[in-house]
Chains A and B, each alone.
Chain A
Amino acid sequence: MALVGPVALRRRSVSRALLGLVGAGAIGLTALLFTATPFQGVLDFVLVAYLLYVVAQTAVSYAVEGARSARNRLALTLLVSALFLALVPLAAVLIYTVQRGVQAISPGFLTHSMNGVGPLEDAGGAYHAIVGTLEQVVIASVISIPLGLLAAVYIVEYGRGRLVYWIRFFVDVMTGLPSIVAGLFIFAFWVLGLHKGFSGFAAGMALAILMIPIVVRASEEMLKLVPNDLREASYALGVPRWRTIVSVVFPAASAGLTTGIILAVARVTGETAPLLLTAFGFDAIRTNPFSGPQSGLPLFVFSQAGSAFDVAVNRAWAGALTLIAIVLVLTVLARVLTRRNVLA
């Protein structure tokens, strides 16, 4: 005797139309509820309608399709809702920034500095800040990419035992380092300690401190993805270890390495706190990053947004939009490069 009866291969299922009906019903019922009782408010309405819909949908599904399908539908609905909820703040920030930024941005904004612009004037721009940000990020990259990459190569290809353990431990600690602390360190050590004063270079160093652990971690993961077979194939041809790393391991991991590095760059581009104590901020264009305070886009946004005047707040939004655009370009670039990964 069979323990399980014959399995019906064809099953009844809830149609889209019926689901739509359930949705409409939930909304209708909520509307009724809100007119008949003291319930009010848009958010409350959405919440009540949503809960009604979830309950009704599960009940209908249970009646038509059975318990398993009902559980499946309920779980799926909750998952999609969670995903949606997680995306809402992100979308809201992006949409709002673009809305405000587009109104405030202009060709003049991208080509002028704030030099000599009065507090109430609707003039000036972020050119000096864009120049500063680009220079600071390049400096941070020049310092941290080679260091981070070499550290990752050491960890993956050479390291054994305790030293690697401690290096990884320190990298982890550095990953959690509050960004203001990186700025404070450069401030104490470089700006004050060595009497170098504020400069774009000081900001670059502070950003580098934040960038190194990200580069190390990302590169480490990518190098580990390179199959050992390839290294062995190279060794077996009598290729020395360093040459194997440069000519076999790096090319195999190049797309992933580039992606990781670009994301690290994007990540520090928006850092504000470390700039406060290092670049300090400056209204005029300063192209030399080695002497004197310099502006940067995050600093620009920070100082303009803090103003009581609308013209300044508008400039802050335009600056924020510019910053998002730069980061977006970097992120998209990273995406495109990832798709070309030979290992993926």
Chain B
Amino acid sequence: MAKRIDVEDLNAWYGSFHAVADVSMTIEPKQVTALIGPSGCGKSTFLRALNRMHEVVRGARVSGQVLLDGQDIYGEGVDAVAVRRSIGMVFQRPNPFPTMSVRDNVAAGLKLNGVRKKSELDDVVERSLTMAGLWDEVSHRLDRPGGGLSGGQQQRLCIARALAVEPEVLLMDEPCSSLDPISTLRIEDLIGELKDRYTIVIVTHNMQEAARVSETTAFFNIAGAGEPGRLIEMGPTTKIFTKPDDTRTEDYITGRFG
């Protein structure tokens, strides 16, 4: 299930603004890879380029290659919609569909892609909610609006929704930044469980979080305002946090950086 991602020479633009430059990296399957770096250094942009969400923004474009188990997701004739089905995404702010019940939120990805069989959908809903650690809390109120849950529950609902379409990779953009410490802990535990089956890439500006959940860490930085973000250094999380090769990484890790 889990697939490996090879990024080669990735560049991303918003109109004429060059947001991410020349990133090459390998993201290993069944691992958690954390992307860290100061705000505005292009972490979200890079992450969104990994499942072709970047191009949803008007005027945005990408160059370079992103190979999913060897197949370029930006290749000729590759359907962005299909790419997004196999590379799921969880956003910074929980965004359940406000008009749908908890059940329909989880089933949305399948339903909107034409799966109609109720028994099948019910199975998927239960399985996904269980995986997201939310089943016990919501099993008795599957028909209530998804927007009625707490922030932490909503975020786990969004994770369940992403898992329901059975992706191979899960991208998470600061999934805990709008949550309280208890909910954060639950989601971090959840990430630990999910990595047995998925390739997980998580953006975080919280270095303790990166240290807690990830095997590999990539540090991004910008040289200054208006400059594109670049990958500075990538390696095992313990190494990045104890003996980084680059002084910029060290400055950032030790807090000597703005």
Residue in A closest to B108 when the chains form the complex, CB atoms: A237
- Shortest beta-carbon distance from B14 to chain A in Å: 14
Residues in B neighbouring A254, C-beta threshold 8 A = 99
Q: Is B109 an interface residue (CB 8 A)?
A: yes
Q: Is A339 an interface residue (CB 8 A)?
A: no
A238-B164 Cα distance, complex, nearest whole Å: 11
- Residue among A229, A231, A235, A237 facing the most chain B CB atoms (10 A cut-off): A237
Residues in A neighbouring B147, C-beta threshold 8 A = 342
Q: Is A4 an interface residue (CB 8 A)?
A: no
- Residue among A160, A230, A238, A243 facing the most chain B CB atoms (10 A cut-off): A238
State whether B58 touches A160 (Cβ < 8 A): yes
State whether A235 touches B109 (Cβ < 8 A): no
Count residues of chain B with CB under 8 A from any CB of chain A. Answer: 30
State whether A230 touches B95 (Cβ < 8 A): yes
From known contacts A160-B58, A232-B53, A233-B91, infer whether A238 and B109 are also in contact, taking CB-CB under 8 Å.
yes
- Shortest beta-carbon distance from B108 to chain A in Å: 6
State whether A238 touches B98 (Cβ < 8 A): no
State whether A237 touches B165 (Cβ < 8 A): yes
State whether B112 touches A243 (Cβ < 8 A): yes
Residue in B closest to A253 when the chains form the complex, CB atoms: B99
- Residue among B51, B81, B83, B99 facing the most chain A CB atoms (10 A cut-off): B99
State whether B53 touches A237 (Cβ < 8 A): no
- Shortest beta-carbon distance from A290 to chain B in Å: 39
- Shortest beta-carbon distance from A158 to chain B in Å: 11
Within 8 A of A (CB), among B77-96: 81-86, 88-89, 91, 93, 95-96
Residue in B closest to A254 when the chains form the complex, CB atoms: B99
Q: Is A38 an interface residue (CB 8 A)?
A: no
Residues in B neighbouring A238, C-beta threshold 8 A = 81-86, 109, 113, 165
Which of B51, B84, B95 makes the CB contact (< 8 A) with A229? B95
Q: Is A251 an interface residue (CB 8 A)?
A: yes
Q: Is A239 an interface residue (CB 8 A)?
A: yes
Q: Is A236 an interface residue (CB 8 A)?
A: yes
A342-B82 Cα distance, complex, nearest whole Å: 30
From known contacts A230-B97, A248-B97, A342-B98, infer whether A235 and B56 are also in contact, taking CB-CB under 8 Å.
yes
Which of A232, A244, A252 makes the CB contact (< 8 A) with B98? A252
Q: Is A175 an interface residue (CB 8 A)?
A: no
Q: Is A106 an interface residue (CB 8 A)?
A: no
Q: Is A76 an interface residue (CB 8 A)?
A: no
Residues in B neighbouring A72, C-beta threshold 8 A = none
Residue in B closest to A160 when the chains form the complex, CB atoms: B58
State whether B95 touches A237 (Cβ < 8 A): no
Residues in A neighbouring B51, C-beta threshold 8 A = 236
| A213-257 interface code vs B (CB 8 A; 1 in, 0 out) | 000000000000001011111111111100110011001101000
Residues in A neighbouring B91, C-beta threshold 8 A = 229, 232-233, 236
State whether B98 touches A239 (Cβ < 8 A): no
State whether B109 touches A239 (Cβ < 8 A): yes
State whether A233 touches B95 (Cβ < 8 A): yes
Residues in A neighbouring B161, C-beta threshold 8 A = 233, 237
Q: Is B2 an interface residue (CB 8 A)?
A: no
State whether A252 touches B99 (Cβ < 8 A): yes
- Shortest beta-carbon distance from A289 to chain B in Å: 36
Q: Is B222 an interface residue (CB 8 A)?
A: no
- Residue among A160, A232, A236, A342 facing the most chain B CB atoms (10 A cut-off): A236
Q: Is B162 an interface residue (CB 8 A)?
A: yes
Residues in A neighbouring B109, C-beta threshold 8 A = 237-239
A238-B168 Cα distance, complex, nearest whole Å: 13
Residues in A neighbouring B99, C-beta threshold 8 A = 251-252, 254, 342
Residue in A closest to B83 when the chains form the complex, CB atoms: A238
From known contacts A236-B53, A237-B109, A237-B162, infer whether A229 and B85 are also in contact, taking CB-CB under 8 Å.
no
- Shortest beta-carbon distance from B185 to chain A in Å: 24
- Shortest beta-carbon distance from A344 to chain B in Å: 11
Residues in A neighbouring B165, C-beta threshold 8 A = 237-238
- Shortest beta-carbon distance from B232 to chain A in Å: 28
Within 8 A of A (CB), among B59-110: 81-86, 88-89, 91, 93, 95-100, 108-109
Q: Is B201 an interface residue (CB 8 A)?
A: no
From known contacts A229-B95, A230-B97, A343-B98, infer whether A235 and B112 are also in contact, taking CB-CB under 8 Å.
no
Residue in B closest to A241 when the chains form the complex, CB atoms: B81
- Shortest beta-carbon distance from A281 to chain B in Å: 45
- Residue among A231, A234, A244 facing the most chain B CB atoms (10 A cut-off): A234
Residue in A closest to B105 when the chains form the complex, CB atoms: A233
- Shortest beta-carbon distance from A285 to chain B in Å: 43
- Shortest beta-carbon distance from B158 to chain A in Å: 7
Residue in B closest to A231 when the chains form the complex, CB atoms: B56
State whether B89 touches A236 (Cβ < 8 A): yes
Residues in B neighbouring A343, C-beta threshold 8 A = 98
A-B contact pairs, 23 of them (CB 8 A): A227-B95, A232-B53, A232-B56, A232-B91, A232-B95, A233-B158, A234-B97, A236-B91, A236-B162, A237-B108, A238-B82, A238-B83, A239-B81, A239-B108, A239-B112, A240-B81, A243-B112, A243-B113, A247-B108, A251-B100, A252-B98, A342-B99, A342-B147
On A, residues with C-beta under 8 Å from B are: 160, 227, 229-240, 243-244, 247-248, 251-252, 254, 342-343
The 5 closest A-B pairs by CB, nearest first: A238-B85, A237-B109, A236-B89, A251-B99, A229-B95
Extra 9 A-B pairs, beta carbons < 8 Å, given A234-B97, A234-B108, A237-B161: A227-B95, A233-B91, A238-B165, A239-B108, A243-B112, A244-B112, A247-B112, A342-B98, A342-B99
